[in-house]
Structure 1
Amino acid sequence: MQFSNRTTVCAVLASLLAVTGAAHAHGDETHAKKAAPAKKEQKAWGIAGDAKAVVRTIEVKMTDRMRFTPDRIEVREGETVRLVHKNAGRIMHEFVLGTKKELDEHAALMKKFPGMEHDEPYMAHVGPNKTGEVIWTFNRAGEYDFACLIPGHYEAGMVGKITVVDTKVASK
């Protein structure tokens, strides 16, 4: 059986498209979860939490109106919280914890490299009508931020604040 050059070229192109078609990190598909445990790296806003240490769950809704509900959350210093993110929209959203400075820097990178892949324990990428979660231990008092850093979403105001109350000050 002989194949024409045209048939061969079409077959090669179809194969390439099949292999590379899923390479966009922030399309409408969710990121596959890695089997490895979360990296326990201390950040200014806390450290990855252990599911067995969760003391409460907070549901955060994400919408295509580029808003989080609630957009203000208060936790106590030392509290391990399960943040459950429900995407009520039709497009991909994400939840990224951090300082304003770090979120600004990450948002700028996302504009330059919109297909960049990343999966940190303080991030959740949530497809349309899907649910994601972050388990986080807020071990440092202060005010921190969260945002959707998909290009255009952050600029549209898809942001929020987390206040971590100092337990020494709160108990006085």
Structure 2
Amino acid sequence: MQALPRILAAMALALAPASVAWADPSPAGHDHAGHDHAVEVAYGRPGDPAKGGRVVQVVMKETDSGMAFAPERIEVAKGEQVQFVLRNGGELDHELVIGTVEANRVHAEAMASHPNMAREDPNAKRLGPKTSGVLRWQFTQAGTFEYACLIPGHREAGMVGTVVVK
């Protein structure tokens, strides 16, 4: 039941009015509002909707001990495009943000100050409760990256996963 206060705080934040627009600070913490979102970053580039790609289903949910993604780890080949078919099976908004650990840390800190930021980033998808969506991403560099829910309190409650690109 330790997760209950975090879940209740996240619910209160989710119900607060949205008032701030957001531009993703990644890569390296800079604001790329107005930049071409097709630009490649360390963890890849937006997927091409015309090319399909391997389907990876990811469920976002609250659990008895916190919050989680299922699966918590995926492996992909360098250059592979993935269609993340996302389903929010929970009662709260959740999101999946692909990035480096550092980029997601910086982004999470910004969201803590502005929890209801409205934004559209090619490496992220936010879903309301009991909804689904698709996020396409091509992993162009080998390495270990992550996907996380950066809504305040969610990452801390366990909503983080690993992408290993070989």
Using structure 1 for the length normalisation, give the TM-score.
0.73
Q: Which runs of 5+ in 1 are unaligned?
A: 1-20, 27-37, 166-172
Residue 15 of structure 2 corresponds to residue 24 of structure 1: no
Aligned twin of 1:56: 54
Q: Secondary structure at the match of 2:103?
A: helix
- Unaligned stretches of 5+ residues in structure 2: 1-14, 21-35
2:55 aligned counterpart, secondary structure:
strand
Aligned to 1:123: 124
Residue number in structure 1 paired with 2:152: 151
Answer yes or no: is 1:40 the counterpart of 2:38: yes
Q: Which amino acid aligns with 1:61?
A: V
Q: 2:157, 2:19 → 1: CA distance?
A: 20
Partner of 2:32: none
> Aligned equivalents of 1:55 and 1:90: distance in 2?
29
Q: Which residue of 2 aligns with 1:96?
A: 97
- The CA RMSD measured in Å over matched residues stands at 2.0
Matched, 1:79 2:80: yes
Q: Which residue of 2 aligns with 1:139?
A: 140
* CA distance, structure 1, for counterparts of residue 129 and residue 53 of structure 2: 28
- What is the aligned residue count? 134
Please state whether the residue corresponding to 1:132 is helix, strand or coil: strand
Q: Deviations over 1:27-60 (max 9, x none)?
A: xxxxxxxxxxx82021110000102222311000
> Secondary structure of the residue that 2:81 maps to in structure 1?
strand
Q: Taking structure 1 as reference, are residues 60 and 25 closer, same or farther at Cα in structure 2, changes over 3 Å only?
A: farther
Q: How much has 1:132 moved relative to structure 2?
A: 1.6
Could you tell me how far apart the structure 2 residues matched to 1:101 and 1:120 are? 17
Q: Secondary structure at the match of 1:107?
A: helix
TM-score (norm 2): 0.76
- Cα distance, 1:150–1:22 mapped onto 2, change above 3 Å: closer
**Higher RCO (CA 8 Å, separation ≥ 6 residues):** 2
